[in-house]
A and B are shown apart, each in its own frame.
Chain A
């Protein structure tokens, strides 16, 4: 896993990390570097510290502490020695690098008229290693298949952070866009034009406009674009059959989702909530769940055996003015 980000790390840090035990390497999720403080490693959802000799320990006292010099080297590599070319990224607080990995930054912010303009004196890095899980949504896709339209149901994926919402969304985009449905019953379904509005560059992890991940051959990505605006732009200009967006939750997002749903475009979106009840407790999501914008809801969670996905058919989906095929599909819902 470490090899994926070798090009980002100063050689001395890479050498140290390379000596970590194999089990840690295999599950490597995050490397958290804080200037002059213990270097934290998150692997398989467990946090620990890198020791001076490249070991793994839960005791921060023995941990390796990266120097300011090392942090500046790292920053130079991440930004191509050019902070000025990364203003947009610095305003948002993270950089997406080739391979889809993302580096969160912490430091002192520079304000301009109350808005964050940039981060300076950067002393905290969180390197999150992106793993493309092709096939992660195979099982889920079968349950979300809309036989009437030979496409995917409008779906809201909910779950707490780090439960694989974005991973699922990305893999669904690949399946729908390439028409590679994992079930023989769906063989021969055409690939659909998918539009991804990737506000936080997490779904496709585009670098200079080109997706780092496989999101399918018929997929357009609007990178770093506000969701509501992006959805409307895509609807107007790219004639999508499916629109995907991450973490909806603002009123304007809901309006855009409705707009898309009413023009016959399937919407697949994610939202933060740990259960359907909690989602219903949020006014915006409750409206969307009840007024037929979505016909399926997927609740993602993690159990002892791994990730879990539960699909709920939303019964209220039928009455709104959608295409008759969609209404029929909602009628026979009950998977």
Chain B
């Protein structure tokens, strides 16, 4: 009886792990897309509106879905606080805080960090160049993420169940 219950638990856990893994594969391209949209909006705000960064970040964040929205929103909050450090520090802090809650990886993080070291620090043309470069890199990541999704999403789901089943069989 206990054995059967254990087997069911293992099966359930395995399935869960598989599904969670699959969900990560599905979420990553979506979040990347969202971030690219955010960067595009930021580009418009900076390039055509000359909007100062705190305001531009706030507006960008207001039109997006989580978790990308909070990256922009929290940075804006930090910038507007009375003892705000330089932009780069605010950005880094936000990224460090938000990143574990996203399905994105280190490569995207590196791209955003590089962007953070230049945002607000140069003239308009230069800003636009950096923003476009970041978008391109994100785009490449998104393409890769979609391939991964197609390849591994179902696989990791079935793999979860199968490994759980294997463990159960070995135990019995």
A residues bordering B, Cβ < 8 Å? 10-11, 69, 72-73, 75-77, 79-85, 87, 90, 110, 117-118, 120
Contact = CB atoms under 8 A, between A and B. Distances in A.
B79 A83 contact: no
B124 A87 contact: yes
B121 A83 contact: yes
Contacts, number: 57
A120 B126 CA distance: 12
Contacts of A81: 52-54, 79, 84, 86-87, 120
Contact of A80 (B54, B86, B124, B127): B54
Contact of A11 (B51, B56, B82): B82
Given A117-B123, A118-B123, A84 B46 contact: yes
Given A73-B85, A76-B84, A84-B123, 20 more contacts: A10-B83, A73-B84, A75-B86, A76-B87, A80-B52, A80-B54, A81-B53, A81-B79, A81-B120, A82-B52, A82-B53, A82-B120, A84-B46, A84-B122, A84-B124, A84-B126, A85-B51, A87-B124, A90-B123, A117-B123
A110 B121 CA distance: 13
Nearest to A117: B123
Contacts of B122: 83-84, 118, 120
Contacts of B126: 84
Contacts of B53: 80-82
Nearest to A76: B86
Contacts of B121: 83
Interface of B: 46, 50-54, 56, 79, 82-87, 120-124, 126-127
A11 B85 CA distance: 10
A79 B123 CA distance: 12
A120 B123 CA distance: 9
B52 A85 contact: yes
Task: Point out which of A69, A76, A82, A118 has the most chain B C-beta atoms below 10 A from its C-beta.
Answer: A82
Contacts of B123: 83-84, 87, 90, 110, 117-118
Contacts of B50: 84-85
A75 B121 CA distance: 9
Closest A-B pairs by Cβ, 5 of them: A80-B52, A82-B52, A84-B124, A81-B53, A72-B86
A294 to B, nearest CB: 40
Task: Point out which of A69, A77, A79, A85 has the most chain B C-beta atoms below 10 A from its C-beta.
Answer: A85
A219 B58 CA distance: 36
A87 B127 CA distance: 12
Contacts of A117: 123
Contacts of A76: 84-87, 120
A69 B86 contact: yes
A73 B78 CA distance: 13
A79 B46 CA distance: 14
A120 B122 CA distance: 7
Contacts of B82: 11
Task: Point out which of A10, A75, A81, A82 has the most chain B C-beta atoms below 10 A from its C-beta.
Answer: A81
B61 to A, nearest CB: 15
Contacts of A79: 52, 120
Nearest to A71: B86
A107 to B, nearest CB: 12
A253 B46 CA distance: 36
A11 B46 CA distance: 28
Nearest to A73: B86
Contacts of B54: 80-81
24 contacts: A11-B82, A11-B83, A72-B86, A73-B84, A73-B86, A75-B86, A76-B85, A76-B87, A79-B120, A81-B52, A81-B53, A81-B84, A82-B51, A82-B52, A82-B53, A82-B56, A83-B120, A83-B122, A83-B123, A84-B120, A84-B123, A84-B127, A85-B50, A85-B52
A155 to B, nearest CB: 38
Contacts of B124: 84, 87
B39 to A, nearest CB: 15
Nearest to A122: B121
Contacts of A118: 122-123
A11 B83 CA distance: 6
A10 B87 CA distance: 13
Nearest to B57: A81
